[in-house]
Amino acid sequence: MRMGVDAVLLELQREFRAAVLGTDDGVLGIQVAAPRGIAAARIEIYRNTVQASLAEVLAAAFPAVQRIVGPAFFDALARMFIAAEPPRAPQLSIYGSAFPAFITVASQEHHLPYLPDVARLEWARSESYFAADAPQLDPAELTRHGERIGEACFHLHSAARLIRSSFPIVTIWEMNQPENAEVPHIDMSMGESALVSRPGMHVVTRRISEGDADLIEALANGAALGTAAEAALSREPGFDLQQALEQHLRHGTFSGAQ
Amino acid sequence: MAGNAGPIPAAAGIGLRTRHMPTLANQDTGTALTVPWLEIHSENFLCAGGPRRAMIAAIAERYPLSCHGVGLSLGSAEGLDQGHLERLATLYGWLNPGLVSEHLSWSVTGGDYLNDLLPLPYTPTTLDTVCRNVDRAQSAFGRAILVENPSAYLTFPASTMREADFLNALVTRAGCGLLLDVNNIYVTATNTCDGGDVLDSARAYIDEVPPKAVGEIHLAGHSITGGDDDRVLIDTHSTLVCEDVWTLYRYAVARLGPRPTLIEWDLDVPELPVLLGEAVQAQAILSTHENGGGRRVA
């Protein structure tokens, strides 16, 4: 068997990539066994399959973004993203992590400044769905710590994600669910934090208070519960730690505490 | 290890798609909505955890499972991605599939994954590349794989070998098996037709593949596009199997004998009973063969 890379094949594959990711209808360095007009039409079939299938993957991961901007604009954004940042692995469940950042400029141009954060929330939901399995922290385990609970460090569950925004992203996301026809009153000056988790294999998105978000952020950074609670209270004097913890335990925010 | 439902029978199964997973993962024994075996797209199950992995674990306990890779890119000039190879090997170690298959095509170049099964020029040097990649995959998986003939919308003037000859040489040199996609033979024969009869050319193709190497057959529907001057069949897996493909399937089963046969449907996936209906049609053809359908009793 001859070793080494087939340079001719490599060059053909590079040319083909440019053809299917690009928008140029004039073909190419590729020699195709067909008259020129037909060759272009046939390359177009591959280009369409590649771009449409990947756009569909993005639409499935970012349904609220698609609903906000409409299918045609979303498709245009998706195709720009595909050309600029094609998948780096044949695993489509991880394709789209860079999409929220990619749409920042277009979102500003179209006066939809909250769009990247809604996309970040949707990506967090997608990551949560595919994340590693882990047990949920059992409330009984907390009683083991007794009075020293304040010294306990909590481990965030592998499927838990905190998304903070200066826009009301959870409300916007809720408004753009297919089953939701009502448009609530919405105060665009109010930022919101979303906590995504996966209790019982079901991805849930909760709006949590800013104090609660500080708590989770501090715990995620390794702070003990007492220190994290102080951070929450200094942000939000009325913060109810007991109630917040109950909600987190019910929704599987943590996998353990020690 | 999750999968313990055994080898793939020479019967008609269906491609498992996500919309049908909850039904098949949670069904009671004795349900009418059942099938002798299922095939998954391997890359859909490389996630770390979550509901999809939980459902496939439950399904693999109950159904013989075949794993069909769509992203390994056996035709990549630069070779296989080691990370992807290892992730697939881990998945196969976990699911213990009855069959593992890939495609005679490429989809990765420069590390970019193009999410389509792209065509190769059939030359001796391409054969070297594909043999090397198949060899590496089989070593990583610790088993022989089946390689599927692709559907094509164009051919390259650089090709010096016919596809059937290329596959014969691949089987001999790499020791792999073949997954014969009858719809792909028909689609390619139509799209690259030089004026001859499409069915005749497809039958000739079936005549030329080494029968012993064929470990599985695929059936699917395609869509039709283009005008009179350039009518093209697109391998969309979005419709019922067409009459010509059923004709070719009967021909293939008569020549090769009964083989595990899969109904593939990937776009606009219909309700489960529609897929099972297609499988029943394939089963009827398998069962008319002298060796019977090979449906497992146990």
How much is the pLDDT for B296?
Answer: 40
ipTM above 0.90, yes or no: yes
DSSP-derived secondary structure for A68-124 = HH-HHHHHHHHHHHHHHS--SSS-GGGTTTTHHHHTHHHHHHTT-TTHHHHHHHHHH
pLDDT of A213 higher than 80: yes
The Cβ of residue A126 has, within 10 Å, a number of other Cβ atoms equal to 21
Partner B, chain A 130-189, Cβ-Cβ below 8 Å = 130-134, 158-159
For A40-94, how does the pLDDT look when each residue is reduced to its tens digit (9 = 90+)?
888 999 999 999 999 999 999 999 999 999 999 999 999 999 999 999 999 999 9
CA-to-CA dists, residue A116 to A68, A80, A94, A97, A223, angstroms:
12, 15, 18, 11, 29
Q: How far is B22 from chain A (nearest CA, A)?
A: 13
Identity (one letter) of the amino acid at B246?
W
Region B163-172: what's the mean pLDDT? 98
How far apart CA A250 and CA A199 sit, in angstroms, is 8
For B43-59, how does the pLDDT look when each residue is reduced to its tens digit (9 = 90+)?
999 999 999 999 999 99
How much is the pLDDT for A28?
Answer: 62
How much is the pLDDT for B295?
Answer: 42
Partner B, chain A 15-74, Cβ-Cβ below 8 Å = 16-17, 20-21, 30-34, 38-39, 41-43, 45-46, 49-50, 53-54, 57
How much is the pLDDT for A1?
Answer: 45
Contact, A175 vs A186, CB < 8 A?
Answer: yes
Mean pLDDT of chain A, nearest integer: 93
- B50–A50 CB contact, under 8 Å: no
Looking at the DSSP bridge assignments, the partners of residue B233 are B224
Q: Which residue has the tokens 């692995």?
A: A89
How far apart CA B236 and CA B248 sit, in angstroms, is 19
Q: List CB contacts of B164: < 8 A, sequence separation 6 or more.
A: B205, B208, B209
How far apart CA A68 and CA A180 sit, in angstroms, is 13
Question: Which DSSP symbol is given to B112?
Answer: E
Q: Give the CATH number of domain B12-25+32-288.
A: 3.20.20.150
Domain spans of chain A, in order of start? 1-113, 133-258
- Dig out the tokens for B212 from the structure: 């012993």
pTM over 0.90: yes
Q: How far is A234 from chain B (nearest CA, A)?
A: 36
- A32–B49 CB contact, under 8 Å: no
Q: Which residue has the tokens 């353990």?
A: A256
> Which phi and psi angles does B70 have, rounded to 5°?
-120, 5
- A20–B81 CB contact, under 8 Å: no
Region A185-209: what's the mean pLDDT? 95
Looking at the DSSP bridge assignments, the partners of residue A196 are A161, A205
> Which phi and psi angles does B46 have, rounded to 5°?
-90, 0
What CATH topology corresponds to A133-258? Outer Surface Protein A; domain 3 (3.90.930)
- Dig out the tokens for A139 from the structure: 């409330």
CA B144 centroid distance within chain = 15
